């Protein structure tokens, strides 16, 4: 798994108008080709009466899956510009759909390329690029006497805390970056003088900056 990658924070859209044609750019983070295809079909149904619903997506740690569709526009004037914008912004696991309602003025090949690129950029801006960072859960089980010290140490080092449970002991769900998990566990052992029961758990991606 990648330690970090750039994607979109959420599904969102933004409309721009170019020479009376409406271009509505939709962006969404996705985890699979099936999810990307389903989103494209969803937008096509939503805008069934649009002139075109052009799209592109990139999926995979090494961008293994890349597809594009001109959806009736001249070859290379819609899907490829959308895909190029995704690549140029360094995004992974995203799908972009740019819907066009023809306004009566021909844009020409160059104009279409620029318009679909602008539509893709608008979608990305609306859906907000974000860096997802791989974190690993480390459970730190300690006696109550250690809680105040650990709370201060974790805060000082900026370690994310997923939650804390209080029973006969305190269990803190810590979320260091996955690459640092082993060092973090060793540090926790040192801080608590070996008094903590430490369990290293699974991984998950968390958006940088929350």
**Per-residue three-class SS string for the chain:** CCCEEEEECCCEEEEEEECCEEEEEEEEECCCHHHHHHHHHHHHHHCCCCCEEEEEEEECCCCCEEEEECCCCCCCCCHHHHHHHHHHCCECCEEEEEEEECCCCCCHHHHHHHHHHHHHHHHHHHHCEEEEEEEEEEEEEECHHHHHHHHHHHHHHCCEEEEEEECCCEEEEEECEHHHHHHHHHHHHHHCCCCCEEEEEEEEEEECCC
Q: Is the pLDDT of residue 129 over 70?
A: yes
Split at pLDDT 50, 70, 90, the class of 94 is very high
What tokens appear for 141 in the block? 């089980």
What value does the mean pLDDT take over residues 164-172?
95
Segment 132-144, tens digit of pLDDT = 999 999 999 999 9
Question: Are residue 88 and residue 39 in the same domain, yes or no?
Answer: yes
pLDDT of residue 31: 94
pTM over 0.85: yes
CA distances from 181 to 172, 186, 197 (A): 14, 9, 15
Structural domain boundaries, residue 156: 131-207
Among residues 78, 101, 127, the one where a domain terminates is 127
Split at pLDDT 50, 70, 90, the class of 210 is low
- The CATH number covering residue 93 comes to 3.30.230.30
Among residues 127, 153, 170, the one where a domain terminates is 127
Q: Is the pLDDT of residue 128 over 80?
A: yes
């Amino acid at each position: 798994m990648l330690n970090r990658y750039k994607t979109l924070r959420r599904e969102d859209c933004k409309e721009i108008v170019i020479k009376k044609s409406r271009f509505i750019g939709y962006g969404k983070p996705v985890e699979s080709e099936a999810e990307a295809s389903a989103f494209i079909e969803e937008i096509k149904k939503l805008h069934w009466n649009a002139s075109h619903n052009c799209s592109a997506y990139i999926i995979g740690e090494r961008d293994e899956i890349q597809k594009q569709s001109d959806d009736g526009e001249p070859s290379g004037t819609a899907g490829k510009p959308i895909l190029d914008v995704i690549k140029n912004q360094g995004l992974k696991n995203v799908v972009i759909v740019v819907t066009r309602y023809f306004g009566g003025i021909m844009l020409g090949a160059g104009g279409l390329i620029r318009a679909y690129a602008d539509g893709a950029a608008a979608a990305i801006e609306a859906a907000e690029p974000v860096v997802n960072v791989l974190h690993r859960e480390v459970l730190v089980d300690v006696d109550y006497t250690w809680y105040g010290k650990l709370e201060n140490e974790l805060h000082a080092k900026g370690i994310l805390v997923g939650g804390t449970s209080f029973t006969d002991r305190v269990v803190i769900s810590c979320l260091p970056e996955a690459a640092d998990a082993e060092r973090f566990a060793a540090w926790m052992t040192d801080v608590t003088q070996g008094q903590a029961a430490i369990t290293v758990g699974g991984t998950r991606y968390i958006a940088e900056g929350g």
